[in-house]
Each structure stands twice: as structure tokens, then as C-alpha cells.
A = this chain, B = another copy of it.
Amino acid sequence: MDQNPIPLPKEYPVPHDFHSNLRKKFLDFFKKQLGEQANNSIVFLKGAESIDKHDDDQQYRVEQESNFKYIFGCDLLDCYGILEVESGKVTVFVPKYPESYKMWMVVFSNEEIKEKYRLDDVLYVDQLEQWIEKRAPSKLFIYKGQDSDSKLISSYPQFPYLSKYKVDEEELYWTLNECRVTKTDQEIEILRYVALLASESHENVMRKIRVGNKEYQMEALFKYHNFVYSGCRFTPYECICASGTGGSTLHYIENDKTIEDKQLILTDMGARYYGYNSDITVTFPSNGKFDEKQSIIYNAVLDAQRQVFASLKVGVNWGDMHFLAERVIVQHLLDAGLLVGTIEELMQNRIGKIFFCHGLGHLLGMRTHDVGGYNKGCPPRIPELQSLRFRRDLEVGMVFSNEPGIYFVDFIIQEAFKDETKARFLNQEKISEFMYVGGVRLEDDIALTANGPEILNLVPRSIAQVEACIRGEDWKLIQ
């Protein structure tokens, strides 16, 4: 047991006007879209509910729902919040706990909550009905809609007395989502912080993990690093720590295997701070040295990622970027002899999809797969890009992942071998030799700023950098 004291934390200080700036941005957009309808109206949101752990007298640690956090900045559970559209005034309604709860848990007074979260007013949930009655809004805008990825309906305020009012369940969903699609500079600042934090954590894992360790030990160290330095108790998503062929399962979260010699390790892990997420994937050799086949696949993915990055600018369509990545990958697989045919034939028959079987990237923000990907008025999802989570033209302020990958997924490849229309493009013998590689994914977090695209994370990418990092050298000095 080493005796080093725990280092002091280094948390990022979120600016005091963070949420008031977001509200201003949203209200400007909302009023512009809604016109007179917005007059004397209110935006009515439901925060995250607490979740009991089975029938036990415990609850899960639940994080605030992202829209509620965005508008009100408030982390408390089981709340409702109202934003008055004309004045911009925010009122949060909190649960009233019995006095005796104070013995068991920290119960803030409404005055303390108001001050802590810089709200205009804090009342109890049981005052909500009366408040709305007295306020007599012209309309209540409610955030109700279906997520384009999960197909789940958002949780929204449901009270019998709402039938007395004009309730709009259409406009808030797409307008608020649209507002969240582009990030303010203050938001990008947090996203940069959280990407750099996760980068450090990844680097720490890459330096310290060895053959013989368990996959979950990477998850343990990564989470510890985020938590101890920055108080990040949560991760944006379950850590993916795959060794060997595990890397070919896109969301592998078992993390229970022992790491072996000559494997590739794929870790897809992010940090989450103040509700903002990073989402970063690295792939590296378990013994510190890529072999020839691993290098071929790795460099194909890296080339795709770099060519996409070089093409990013305002107005470029993300669907086109996916096809660009696929083309680069296919070209590399062709050059290496895994595929047969011309690049055009291979693209036309979507042979790349057998290996690059997910979308190139997704919007990133308060959700790992952020909202608004297929918003009203945007290019719709198309069958050819079924797994792509958005297909919009890029705008300043968008933050998204750039994550091409090549995977040797056994059941997909076996099916392709049996499919005449595909088999003729596949060099079965050669592909079989590459199956052990598992998967390579390289995922960067990109912000498209007014100055162009920026990679928010800082992790070793070239083979020389990755190998130097594992050796404990300063890889940042290397190309």
C-alpha cells in the first residue's frame, strides 16, 4: 500500500451566468419561432425522479434530467420547474420532506436552494397547482417527444388540473432540442475540460495496464482518476473495456476478461462533469507493440478519422462524412488484400458496412448521444445510414464525435461469406487471418467553432505516439 497522500482536487469553476445565458439563448430562439404564441406563456419541465432500489429502503444515485439541468441548473430530484417566457423568471418546485428527514439526510431550505442554484423563486411541489392558477399563463409549453435513437417518450408533467389550460406538447420539444444542438462558448469550455480530463484518465490507464490485468481494472482506474481530481462520480455511459475479440462487440461492458499478450485493447470511456460529457475511444496493444495486422487496421481507422477531420467545415453534411470515412476504410482493406474489386463497386455494395458497422459519430453534450439529431426540418434518417445518429449539415457550435472503426464481428462476417452479393468482394482467407484483431475504434470529440474544427481531447493517436505513451514517454513530442 503506497503512502502518497491523495492529491488536491482541481475542479472546473462553472461561471455564475452559465444557465442564465442558456436561458437567454433558448428564449430568443423560442420567441422567434413562436411569435405571439409565446406571449404570457410558460415553459413547464419535470426533473428526474428518484428511483427505488427494488423494495429496499435505498435509492439509486440519479442524475438530473438534461433539459431540467440546462434550464434551471438545479440538481435536486423530484422537482418541477417553470420558466416564464416573457420575463425569463425561473421558479423551481421542490418536494417537501417531513421535518424528521433532516436527521437522515441533508435537506436544504427553499431559500438555500434559491441561492445555490441562482433561481428567482423556490416553492414546494404542492404549491404548483395554485401557482399556475394565480399566474394564469396563456399557454403551457411541455417537453414531450420521442427520442430518435431510443424511441422512448420523454417524461413530462402530468396533472389532472392541466386540462384547464392551453397546453402545447409540440413546440417545446423541437425548439429546446434545436437550441441544444449548438453549444455556447461556455458550454464548449466545459466540454473541453471534460474531454481533457478523460484524456488524462485514458493516458493513465494506457501507461499502467499490463497483460494479466483484468479489463475492469481499466474501468476502475479511469473512474478513479476522473473522480479524485474533479469530483466526477458519474460516467456519461458504461465504460467499454475490451481486450482481444471483445473489441468487436460495440458496447461491450462486461469488462471481466483477463488481458492477454498480443491483444488489442479497446477502451471507450468518457468523463462527465456538471452534466456535460466526453466520449473518447482509444485502441492500443496489450504488450505495448502493434503487430503488422493490428497496424494495418489501426492505420486504416486513423486515416479515416484524419480525413474526416480535415474535411470538417460549416455546411458539410455529416452523412457525407460517414461515406468519406467508409471510403477510406474500404480503400485500406482493399490495399491490404482483405477485399477484392474496385473502390466504386465496394462502395456501391456497401461492403464497408460489414467492418465499419456503426455510424461515424453523434452529437455530444449533456447527453452522450445528444438531442436534435433528426430534429424537425433536418435531413431524415435514411436506410443506407440507419445507425447514423444525425445527418445534418454542420454548424458553428456543434459538438460531435468522430469515431470511425473497423470490427471483425464473427456473426456479421460469417453471414457475409454466405451472401453471394457480398462474398465475391471478400477475401475469406485473408479476413480469417485478421479475426483475432477484434476491433479498432478511434473516437475524438470535435467542436466546430468559428475558427474551424477543434479536437477537444488530447490522447495519443499515431502508432508511434501510442507505443511511446505505453512506455511512459512523453508522446506529445512525437508525431
Residues in chain A within 8 A of chain B (CB atoms): 1-6, 8-9, 48, 51-52, 54-58, 60-61, 65-66, 99, 102-106, 146-147, 149-150, 152-155, 200, 203-204, 207-210, 212-214, 216-221, 223-224, 227-228, 231, 233, 237-238, 249-254, 256, 357, 367-369, 409, 411-412, 472
Contact = CB atoms under 8 A, between A and B. Distances in A.
Given A228-B217, A251-B105, A155 B6 contact: no
A57 to B, nearest CB: 4
Contacts of A146: 55
A219 B210 contact: no
Nearest to A409: B103
Contacts of A1: 200, 203-204, 207
Contact of A227 (B60, B102, B152, B219): B219
A66 B51 contact: no
A2 B4 contact: yes
Contact of A250 (B103, B251, B367): B103
A1 to B, nearest CB: 6
Contact of A220 (B48, B147, B228): B228
Given A5-B209, A204-B1, A221-B224, A252 B105 contact: yes
Given A6-B209, A223-B224, A249-B104, A150 B217 contact: no
A318 to B, nearest CB: 18
B8 A213 contact: yes
A377 B217 CA distance: 46
Nearest to A11: B214
A142 B214 CA distance: 39
Nearest to A151: B57
Contacts of A220: 224, 227-228
A147 B55 contact: yes
Nearest to A204: B1
A106 B57 contact: no
Contacts of A409: 102-103
A326 B204 CA distance: 49
Nearest to A227: B220
A404 to B, nearest CB: 16
A51 B57 CA distance: 18
A416 to B, nearest CB: 13
A213 B231 CA distance: 11
Nearest to A209: B6
A216 B65 CA distance: 22
A237 B52 contact: no
A133 B29 CA distance: 59
Contacts of A411: 99, 102-103
B250 A55 contact: no
28 contacts: A1-B200, A1-B203, A5-B210, A6-B209, A6-B213, A6-B217, A8-B212, A8-B213, A9-B214, A51-B60, A54-B66, A54-B152, A55-B152, A55-B155, A57-B147, A57-B149, A57-B152, A58-B150, A58-B237, A102-B409, A103-B249, A103-B250, A105-B252, A217-B228, A221-B224, A223-B223, A224-B227, A231-B256
